[in-house]
Structure 1
Amino acid sequence: MTHRFPVRVYYEDTDLAGIVYYANYLKFIERGRSEWVRELGVDQAAMKRDEGVVFAVRRVEADYHSPAQYDDELVVTTEVDAVTGARLIVRQNVERDGKVLFTALVTIVAINDAGAPARLPAAFRRNLH
């Protein structure tokens, strides 16, 4: 399943050259992941409250292919690459008109209130299939 999340580039997202500042792609893909998790039916606030578990990004491998510019309409795609008991790896792209501008492989882990590794909640793992 590929989740798609639209993003419009605003002036605040750009640098002096009028292109998207490199760090903002990380914000775009974070928004895409957040909406994907919400669409899966996972309430992250309830997960923290009821299970004491939150998601944390452990690793990001990113490649910048082509710049986005002010007022571009982008799409963030998110797909599951791999799942284990405590780790989720997602592949994310930022595209404009079908052209890939940015790619990332993001490793997400579950941690408990003390910051120690925890298993991904069973309900979350079930919703991935």
Structure 2
Amino acid sequence: MNTRKNQHFSLPIRVYIEDTDAGGIVFYANYLKFMERSRTEYIRSLGIELRTGMQQNISYVVHSLEIKYKKSARLDDLITVTSEIIKVGKTYLVFEQHVVDENNTVLVSAEVKVACVSLDSGKPRALDKHLLEALN
């Protein structure tokens, strides 16, 4: 397993009514969606298209996560979701992610382990060599 401090990727997201509960506060599960978008766009920024991987029988699934909710985002807030790869294993990546507000206050923090699997069987497989090359 390789431990690394990689580049930080940031994705700005506006909080819409569909993201909130009746009180205008972001529903807790929606932070997971925001983090998924940030991880996906981070990988896309490296030149890796997930659809191409799927055509090659490669998929990525969340294996596990640890999340801490510290403060709520609200309707119309502009938040930023950051993603950084902190570990690379043979079959997985570990991301450190944060959701911050416009004052750079951390609202939510998480560590997310994403496993590489064969799309047809769901069994673990080695990370794609193109992804590894892009990360280095």
- TM-score of Structure 1 vs Structure 2, range by shorter chain: over 0.9
| Aligned equivalent of 2:19, options 7, 13, 34 | 13
Separation in 2, partners of 1:18, 1:74:
15
Question: TM-score, with normalisation over the residues of structure 1?
Answer: 0.96
- Which deviations, in whole Å up to 9, do the C-alpha atoms of 1:22-59 show, x marking residues without a partner? 0000010011111111101001111121x311111111
Q: Can you give the 5+ residue segments of structure 1 that lack an aligned partner in the other structure?
A: none
- Give the aligned residue type for 2:97: Q
Give the structure 2 partner of residue 107 of structure 1. Answer: 113
Give the structure 1 partner of residue 4 of structure 2. Answer: none
Q: Secondary structure at the match of 2:54?
A: helix
Give the CA deviation at 1:88: 0.3
| Aligned equivalent of 1:77, options 82, 89, 105 | 82
Separation in 2, partners of 1:29, 1:55:
14
Separation in 2, partners of 1:94, 1:6:
9
Give the structure 2 partner of residue 63 of structure 1. Answer: 68
Q: CA RMSD in A?
A: 0.7
Aligned residues: 128
Give the structure 1 partner of residue 131 of structure 2. Answer: 124
The 5-angstrom pairing of residues 88-103 of structure 1 reads: 88-97=93-102, 98-103=104-109
